[in-house]
Amino acid sequence: MWKTILRRILIMIPEIIILSILVFLLAKAMPGDPFTGSINPKADPAQLHHLMKINGLYDPWYQQYWNWVVHLFHGNLGNSYQYQEPVTRLIGGRAINTLWLALFTTILTYCIALPMGMYAAKHEGKLPDSIIRVYTYVTFCIPFFVILVIGVWIFGFVLGWFPTTGSISSTATPGIQSVGSRIYHILLPGILGALFGTVNVVQYLRSEVIDAKRSDYVRTARSKGVPEKDIYKHHIFRNSLLPIAAFAGYSITGLLNGSLFTETVFSYPGMGLLFINSISYRDYTVITALVLIYGILNLLGTLLSDIILSIVDPRIRIQ
Partner 1 sequence: MESTSEFLNIKDVSTAFKINGKYYDAISHINLEVHHDEILAIVGESGCGKSTLATTIMGLHDPAETKISGEVDFEGTNLLTLNEAGYNKFRGAKIGMIFQDPLSALNPLKRIEDQISEVMDYHTNFTAEQKHDRVLELLDQVGIVNPKRTAHQFPHELSGGMRQRVIIAIAIACKPDLIIADEPTTALDVTIQAQILDVLREIQKENHAGIILITHDLGVVAETADRVAVMYAGQIVEQGSAEQIFNTPKHPYTRSLLRSMPQLENQNDDLYVIQGNVPSLQRMPHEGDRFAPRIPWVPESAHEKDPVMHVIETGHEVRCTCYKEFKFPDEAEDVKA
Partner 2 sequence: MSLIEIKDLKVHYPIRSGFWNRVTDSVKAVDGISFNIEAGETYGLVGESGSGKSTTGKSVVGLEKVTSGSIMYKGKDITKKSNRNHLDYNHDVQMIFQDSLSSLNPRKRIEDIIAEPLRNFEHLSKDDEKLRVLQLLDIVGLDADALYKYPHQFSGGQRQRIGVARAVATNPKLIIADEPVSALDLSVQAQVLNFMKKIQREFGISYLFISHDLGVVRHMCNNIAIMNRGRLVEIGTRDDIYNHPLHIYTKRLLAAIPETNVSQRKAHREARLAVEQVYREQQDKYYDEHGDAYPLVQVSPTHAVALPEALAQQIVQEGEVKA
Contact call for residue 7 and partner 2 (CB under 8 A): yes
Residue 60: CA count within 13 A, CB half-sphere: 2
> Which residues 6+ apart lie within 8 Å of 63 measured at CB?
56
Smallest gap from Cβ 166 to partner 1, in A, equals 46
Contact call for residue 3 and partner 2 (CB under 8 A): yes
Looking at beta carbons only, is 104 or 237 nearer to partner 1? 237
Smallest gap from Cβ 266 to partner 2, in A, equals 45
7 binds, among partner 1, partner 2, none (CB under 5 to 8 A by kind): partner 2
Task: Centre a 10 Å sphere on the Cβ of residue 138 and count the other Cβ atoms it contains.
Answer: 10
40 binds, among partner 1, partner 2, none (CB under 5 to 8 A by kind): none
296 binds, among partner 2, partner 1, none (CB under 5 to 8 A by kind): none
To 10 degrees, the CA torsion angle through 264, 265, 266, 267? 40
Q: Which residue among 4, 36, 88, 239 contacts partner 1 (CB under 8 A)?
A: 239
Looking at beta carbons only, is 180 or 227 nearer to partner 1? 227
DSSP codes of every residue in 58-110:
TS-HHHHHHHHHHHHHTT---B-TTT-SBHHHHHHHHHHHHHHHHHHHHHHHH
Compute how many residues bind partner 1; rule: CB under 8 A: 21
Contact call for residue 13 and partner 2 (CB under 8 A): no
> Which residues 6+ apart lie within 8 Å of 114 measured at CB?
201, 205, 241, 244
In the complex, the residues that contact partner 2 under the rule CB under 8 A are 3, 6-7, 319
